[in-house]
Structure 1
Amino acid sequence: MSRTVVCVKWVADEGELRTDPVTLAVDAGHARRKICDYDRNTVEAARVAAAEQGGELIGLTFGGPDSAGALKDVLSRGADRALHVLADGTARADGHVTAHALAAGIRRFDDVGLVLCTEGASDTYAHETGPRIAELLGWPVVTNVGGLTVDGRRLRATRVLERETETVECDLPAVVTVVPEIGPAPVPGLRSVIAAGRKPTEQLPLADLGLPPAATTARTSVTSLLGRTDRRRHVLVADGDAHRKVAALLTALAEEGVLR
């Protein structure tokens, strides 16, 4: 029986982000943290895949101390154990560092047959974590997966390609990145939440993984993060028949420079 690992990310609640109306700078300092909404569906897909193999499901996350909150969430959703690779608070972590940390975390477990990641997190949606991990592990990767089944040591996945779908097969072990549409995630019940507190968890500092400095040194940096604000004009077109309303709407749009 092989193990399944599901990677999750602890992110700021996008509904609580603030944008400065003048500078458009995004402030996430007051936003609550949560497991990425898309990751919830990924955890459910991983739970089903692990059940098909009859093996253990392991939750894995990488981040600062507050990221530990992701562990209880993923455990309440069916994971059997969880590992938190603790980031160095003084170091920057980009996709390069994150992939090395997660890959090293995966290597700590024997007989891992399948690793699931979400195609992209709700905060960046960079499409990079899964392929990077696969490269580091030397495993095949299947991206944009909307459905998957496991039969022994063989994976069969359906890829979502805009208006088309593609079915592929590969041998395990493999890394799979899934789209949010892979399926809905049930809300954990009270018993599952309570049981999550009794499941084994481990917190491991990044420095203890024995990675070389090149693996833990960020290669990219964010120079700015700007939000978008919509300014509504609240133009009301209510008088006259349909022709007059259309004419008034066109006039208002022209005055705003939308139509020329």
Structure 2
Amino acid sequence: MPNIIACYKWVPDEQDIKLNPSTMALDFSKAKYKISEYDRNAIEEAVLLNQKNGGSVTALTFGNAGAKQSLKDALSRGPGKAIFVNDELAAKSDAYVTANVLAAAVRKAGSYDVILCGEGAGDTYAQQVGPRIAAILGIPAVTYVSEIKIEGNKVVATRKVGNCTEVATVEFPVLISVLPEINKPRIPSLKEVLGATKKPVFEYKLSELELSEDELTAKNNVKAIKGYVMSRKNVIYKAGTAAERVASLVGNLAQEGVL
């Protein structure tokens, strides 16, 4: 019966992000937050594996005080408990720092068999945290996984590599990053939402994780994030019949290499 840890990140909801037309800077001031869509797949797969094989599921996140509201949502999706590393440093952490913190939290939590991560974060999509955690813990990492089976003390994972698939069999402990197609995350019922408030949450402070100053210093510093605007030709076809206008449109698209 495997002990599974599902990592997730609390990210801005992309539909609430606005663009300042004068500076092209992204405006997050009115953005609500949510569990990253990719990480919802990781949580769901952890719960599905638990239902088939028994064991336990722990949700793990690193965030600032605002991420505390994510715990109820995460627990309503099926994990039996949650670990929250609470520190304002999370707001400016890169993949290097995040992986160090999560790996340290995994060590502090005790024994584990499988760590599940999403394919990438919903905000940065760096795709680095999962493999970095595995490297720090000295365990195998299996990425781009579309199907998981547990057989005894082994994981049988189907990976998508380009236009091909491959099957990897790995003994516990192992880290797996899953693709969105692996499952369809559930919408928690009212009973599950209410039940989430009764599940245990363990809050860790960075000082408890015994990380060095270097391990908590970001290697990548983002100076600004700006939106991209594509210049459009805005060609309007008015002359001729409808058939002639369609023919002109098709001809221009072919000339531009679109068709």
Query: Quick one: which amino acid aligns to residue 147 of structure 1?
Result: E
Q: Distance in 1 between matches of 2:71 and 2:91?
A: 22
Q: Distance in 2 between matches of 1:232 and 1:191?
A: 50
Equivalent runs, 1:33-182 vs 2, <5 Å: 33-89=33-89, 92-182=92-182
Identical counterparts, % of pairs: 36
Cα 1:26–1:172 change in 2 (3 A) is same
Cα 1:91–1:64 change in 2 (3 A) is closer
Q: Distance in 2 between matches of 1:90 and 1:191?
A: 31
Report deviation, 1:70.
2.0
Please tell me whether the aligned partners of residues 34 and 69 of structure 1 are also in contact (alpha carbons under 8 angstroms).
no
| Number of equivalenced pairs | 257
Cα 1:235–1:195 change in 2 (3 A) is same
Report deviation, 1:141.
0.3
TM-score normalised to the size of structure 1? 0.90
Cα 1:133–1:252 change in 2 (3 A) is closer
Instruction: Calculate the aligned-residue CA RMSD, in Å.
Output: 2.4
* Cα displacement string for residues 20-59 of structure 1 (whole angstroms, at most 9, x for unaligned residues): 1132111112100111112212211111222333111000
* Cα displacement string for residues 82-101 of structure 1 (whole angstroms, at most 9, x for unaligned residues): 01101235983111110011
Please tell me whether the aligned partners of residues 19 and 228 of structure 1 are also in contact (alpha carbons under 8 angstroms).
no
Cα 1:247–1:66 change in 2 (3 A) is same
Segments ≥4 residues shifted beyond 6 Å: 251-254
3-state secondary structure, aligned to 1:112: coil
**Could you say which residue in structure 1 is the equivalent of 2:247?**
246
Query: Quick one: which amino acid aligns to residue 216 of structure 1?
Result: L
Cα 1:85–1:236 change in 2 (3 A) is same
3-state secondary structure, aligned to 1:21: coil
Q: Distance in 2 between matches of 1:206 and 1:101?
A: 8
Cα 1:224–1:258 change in 2 (3 A) is farther
Report deviation, 1:110.
2.5
3-state secondary structure, aligned to 2:96: helix
* Cα displacement string for residues 159-190 of structure 1 (whole angstroms, at most 9, x for unaligned residues): 01121111111101000000111110111100
Q: Distance in 1 between matches of 2:181 and 2:89?
A: 34
3-state secondary structure, aligned to 1:84: strand
The unaligned stretches of length 5 or more in structure 2 are: none
Please tell me whether the aligned partners of residues 61 and 70 of structure 1 are also in contact (alpha carbons under 8 angstroms).
no
Which has the larger displacement, 232-241 or 109-118?
232-241
Cα 1:248–1:33 change in 2 (3 A) is closer
Please tell me whether the aligned partners of residues 2 and 111 of structure 1 are also in contact (alpha carbons under 8 angstroms).
no
Query: Quick one: which amino acid aligns to residue 127 of structure 2?
Result: H
